[in-house]
Amino acid sequence: MDLSWLDAAIFAPLVGAVAVAIVPSRNLSTLRLVALASTIMTFLLSLGILVDFEAGTPGFQLTTSLSWIPEWGVGYKTGIDGVSLWMVLLTTFLMPLAVLASWSITRRAKAYFIFLLALQTGMTGVFSSLDMFLFYLFWEATLIPMYFLIGMWGYDRRIYAAMKFFLFTLVGSLLMLAGILFLYFAAGDNPTFEYQALLGTPLALDAQRLLFLAFFASFAVKVPLVPLHTWLPDAHTEAPTAGSVMLAAVLLKMGAYGLIRFAIPFFPDAARELVPLVMTLAIIGILYGALVALVQKDLKRLIAYSSVAHLGFIVLGMFVGTLQGMSGGILQMVNHGLSTGALFMLVGALYDRRHTRLIADYGGLARSVPIMAGVFLFVALSSLGLPALNGFVGEFLVLVGTFFGYRWWVIPAAFGIVLAAIYLLWAYQRVFHGEPATEANRAMADLNVRELVMLAPIVALIIFIGVYPKPFLDRIEPSAERLVQQLKQSSVVPGGGVAEGP
Amino acid sequence: MRVAPEYYLSLAGLMFVIGVVGALIRRNAIVIFMFVELMLNAVNLAFVTFARMWGHVDGQVLVFFVLVVAAAEVVVGLAIILLISRNRGSSDVDDVNLLRW
Amino acid sequence: MEMDIPRIELAGIAPEIALTVAALVILVVHAVLGNRFSTWYLPYLATLGLVVAGALAVIVWDVNDLQLSGMIALDNFATFVKVSLAVFGLLTVWLGRDYLTRDRLEESEFYALVLFAVAGMMLMAAAADLIVMFLALETFSIALYVLVAFKRRSTEAQESAMKYFLLGAFSSAFFLFGIALAYGAVGTTNLYSTGPEADSLFRFASAGPSTDLDLLVLAMGLIIVGLGFKIAAVPFHAWTPDAYQGAPSPVTGFMAAGSKIAGFAALIRVLDAILFPLRWDWRPLVIGIAVLTMIVGSVLAVVQEDVKRMLAYSSIAHAGFVLVGVVAANDRGVSGSLFYLATYGLTVVGSFAVVSILAGPGEHRTRLTDYRGAFYQRPLLAGALTLFLLALAGVPVTSGFVAKLVVFGAAIESGYWWLVVIGVLASAIAAFFYLRVLVVMYMQEPIEGVEPAPSGGWLANGVVAITAATTIVFGLAWGPLIDAAEHARFFVAGG
């Protein structure tokens, strides 16, 4: 068996989950340490991926192919290209930090860490599956741990939020399942679920349209694109800190990733036809998310809506059909993961201290917690795209790409950036400046060592990508180029291709 | 005498329909069960007619199977109904309403 | 003068004979030896009978024959169903043993009736003649009527038995009338032709447009209605929730698993093998039933407050999903339906095993509210139930997902993608009520001052462990089982 670092990184968290399961549940600190150690181990393993990965080639690397259910053409096939590489690394990088952000979880911590680690396996698997059956397995496997994380450790309306999250995602992914099956049988006499074998399956245009919509339904819910976004503010707001972090940083990216990895390459003709629709939805998302974020009273909700806006940017870049747009969109997935993850961690830290998420309950914190205020401002600036920080690189590329593809669409997109600056800085101002709302704010403790350790790597990466994005773009661009080409190809057959009844 | 089988079959069909309607609208378990028996007898009549029509005895043999099975059903069914009416002094299905959707 | 006697070959019904003998032995031995040690030797005898029956079914794998004057089909299709039934029977017997001990119910009758029911169900799968099918149907139905009423002193059980009985007898009459009409149309009730002269439903149906098929089509409709009752398809489902709720949980699980696979085995043989040439006539009816069943089962399950009743509606919805595979009427449809029924059976027996343990003595705690915080009181059982519910919802890594995948795949292969879209939407609705149970078990606190139900005996726990293991195993390594299902072909004349 030829297993790569990738496979190790996928399944290491499961080993960690087993280890956590063995630890007696009253031993809280051991539980935490085991979970932390396992996520750090996974991160180190994933560095092996980075070392083995060859920059400059568009194809899949570190591939593993094992026979699984030959009767149905199901195999265990994994591999990554320049897109999934960064998604996998983002996951493994943020996971130890998410564990660090979970120190406030004291109730049923054992189950909590098991779910968190299972979630990691699901997420890593989604980004590295090259078999549709395997992909669907991991895709749904992220659903259940997240459902429990929100439902068991969330805030007041956690059950409502968990249900909504589960059902929205499930409806979408079941439609995708029907689509996968259709594709499976359309592929020819020797049906297979293998991703690369299914690429270029000839399909009639109307079948392509239906299938694209089936896949799109699933991914658009996950991204989320307006009007399918309504689960997101609830899930984000009610989830525990680590849940929000992983949800924003990685789970939403699964939707965008699915669009470029599956929806476009499988059905390029339908995708081309629907580009205006998708771009319109993306622009609506950018503006709507930003405007709604402006009026939020709840910090977590505000960040949730900012995610809707940011993901609109990412999708916009992916669909404009230029290399800059695609690379920018992909890089922006990483950037948004870092900055929004950090923002949720900071809000989590605030909540741990004052047990409220309402902006009105804060104010004037800059005096009592100067370090936290500084980090918050820094991350907010990264999120709104200040030059020399990571957000700038991604957003700039997306805007340039959009300009080359669809000139006038740049204007509403740029307007979205302005709005982002307003809502983020305004929120910063209301929380950290002005008069403290209560006495408790004056006596608040600043970031402790654990929280600093958890935020420092993110801050470092934000600066690194901002000043020197080359190592990232070098690995993204060949794959992005190929994805752009795939949008331009055609696999339509006039007439046939649709499975007919016997 | 030669008779068209349609007469017998129509009678069988009519008996069956009466049985169905009766079983659906009556509320007493015993009466419902009697209507079900009527349906079975309609089947028997149909079997005999068809056997005659085809000119072999297969259908008539099948009638015996039906009779035996019906008898077995009666044994179990009446025992259940008896159990209930002993407990509550009624075999009306509407009185039996602990279970509801 | 000499005469011909038919060949007497018993391989085709050897499992049924073994079960009947075992059941009679159980009754006699119990009558002779009395109650002392009966909790030990009776389950052993029943286990022995079922294991022997299963073994007798397995050894004729890959035999393709008609036996007993063409009354019994000896094919892999029947064998697959028989082996599944033997497994369901074993699990029911083991689960029932702890249940009977806990609730102090009569014993020997329970085991004997389960064995009789399994024998009837097995015969149902092997029947090559409509009248044998009818006898098999009645054999297992009558045994089940009594099993449903097994908690004799419980008014609920009596009521559910009565409803089950009345509707069961009612549906048998439909089935029988269908047989009579088929006999009238064809002149025989046999499904397969045994010689060049002999007539059969199959030969008649495939004779082409010159034959007058009206009567046969009508007969087919009535047979579908009759079997529709047994598989709990809408609109013939009215008995299901009542019977499932009132019956002892082990029996409920057995009904859901066994009754369904037996009814479907007959339905699949009749529709997908014998009346395949008439598929354009029966498909509209079966599609209508499938759509209604999926939607009504899923929607009504959402509003249930009793877990057994909810699982009853879920079982109705699952009948709809299997019907999608029947509609496909291709090789994948048949193998997919068999795979679905086998894995669903294991999962549903497991769920009712958990329900039966958590319900406590007398089975008083089956309401959803009784499950509050179950995870914190009985983490392993709640975890197993979670697994089963996720499997019923069709979530990956469980056998339920693969089952849906294969039947939906078959339907797409046949061109019924829109039926699959309805199916996936129905399963999304269905997911809602499985989630409700999870919410109650995990996200609500246990009720103060209420002691959790005593833990089940080692046999009941073993049943939960076995079914949980199979639910995972057939979700990940489903190759061998789907392979077996794909080899579960019907009898082919001259094949």
Q: Is residue B68 part of a domain?
A: yes
Q: Scanning the structure block, which residue is given the tokens 């997908």? A: C272
- Angstrom distance (rounded) from CA C366 to CA C356: 8
A380: CB partners within 8 A, 6+ apart: A339, A343, A424, A425, A427, A428
Q: How confident is the model at residue A435 (pLDDT cuts 50, 70, 90)?
A: confident
* ipTM for the complex shown: 0.92
pLDDT at residue C471, as a whole number: 95
C343: which 2 tokens?
A: 């894995």
Q: How far is C409 from chain A (nearest CA, A)?
A: 6
Domain that holds residue B39: 5-88
pLDDT digits (tens, 9 = 90+) for C34-66: 877 888 889 999 999 999 999 999 999 988 888
Q: How far is C341 from chain B (nearest CA, A)?
A: 26
pLDDT at residue C484, as a whole number: 93
> Average model confidence (pLDDT) for chain C?
91
pLDDT at residue A462, as a whole number: 93
How many helices (H) and strands (E) chain A has is answered by 23, 2
- Angstrom distance (rounded) from CA C421 to CA C145: 37
- Angstrom distance (rounded) from CA C197 to CA A273: 62
What CATH number is attached to the domain comprising B83? 1.10.287.3510
Type of residue numbered C279: R
Q: What are the strands, taking DSSP E only, across A118-212?
A: none
- Angstrom distance (rounded) from CA C453 to CA C337: 36
Best C388, C389, C407, C421 member to test A by mutation, with max A CBs in 10 Å, is C421
C86 in Cβ contact with C115 (< 8 Å) = no
- Angstrom distance (rounded) from CA C145 to CA C152: 12
Q: How confident is the model at residue A499 (pLDDT cuts 50, 70, 90)?
A: very low
Residue C369 parent element (H or E): none
A174: CB partners within 8 A, 6+ apart: C424, C425, C427, C428
Chain-centre distance of CA B46, in angstroms?
13
pLDDT digits (tens, 9 = 90+) for C177-187: 999 999 999 88
Best A25, A71, A168 member to test C by mutation, with max C CBs in 10 Å, is A71
Q: Is residue B100 part of a domain?
A: no
pLDDT digits (tens, 9 = 90+) for A18-66: 999 998 888 889 999 999 999 999 999 999 888 888 888 888 888 888 8
Taking one residue from A and the other from C, the number of pairs with CB-CB distance under 8 angstroms is 92
Q: Is residue B12 part of a domain?
A: yes
Angle C221-C225-C227 from CA coordinates, rounded to 5°:
115
Domain that holds residue C58: 11-487
User: DSSP class of residue A189?
Assistant: S
- In chain A, % helix, strand, coil (3-state, to 5) comes to 75, 5, 20
Type of residue numbered C28: V
**Sign (positive/negative) of CA torsion A393, A395, A397, A400?**
negative
**Sign (positive/negative) of CA torsion A248, A249, A253, A255?**
negative
- Angstrom distance (rounded) from CA A4 to CA A80: 11
Instruction: Give the number of domains in chain B.
Output: 1
> What does each C-alpha distance from C292 to A432, C297, C340, C422 come to in angstroms?
58, 8, 19, 10
pLDDT digits (tens, 9 = 90+) for B1-38: 778 888 999 999 999 999 999 998 888 888 999 999 99
A146: which 2 tokens?
A: 């997240």
B14: which 2 tokens?
A: 């009519």
Instruction: Give the number of domains in chain C.
Output: 1
Closest residue on chain C to A169 (Cα): C428
The reply to whether C138 touches chain B by the CB within 8 Å rule is yes
Kindly list the domain boundaries of chain A, sorted by start residue: 5-488
Q: Which residues of chain C does A69 touch, with a Cβ-Cβ cutoff of 8 Å?
A: 477-479, 482
- Angstrom distance (rounded) from CA B93 to CA C65: 47
C203: CB partners within 8 A, 6+ apart: C193
Q: Is residue C23 part of a domain?
A: yes
- Angstrom distance (rounded) from CA A245 to CA A97: 9
Q: How many other β-carbons are positioned within 10 Å of the β-carbon of residue A109? A: 22
**Chains C and B, touching by 3 or more CB pairs within 8 angstroms:** yes
A259 in Cβ contact with A223 (< 8 Å) = yes
pLDDT at residue C64, as a whole number: 87
pLDDT digits (tens, 9 = 90+) for C69-79: 888 999 999 99
Interchain contact, C134 vs B42, CB within 8 Å:
no
Phi, psi of B94 (to 5 degrees): -75, -25
Q: Is residue C2 part of a domain?
A: no
Q: What is the DSSP string of A221-271?
A: HHTTPTTS-THHHHHHHHS-HHHHHHIIIIIHHHHHHHIIIIIHHHSHHHH
Which residue in C111, C342, C351, C118 sits closest to C252, CA to CA? C351
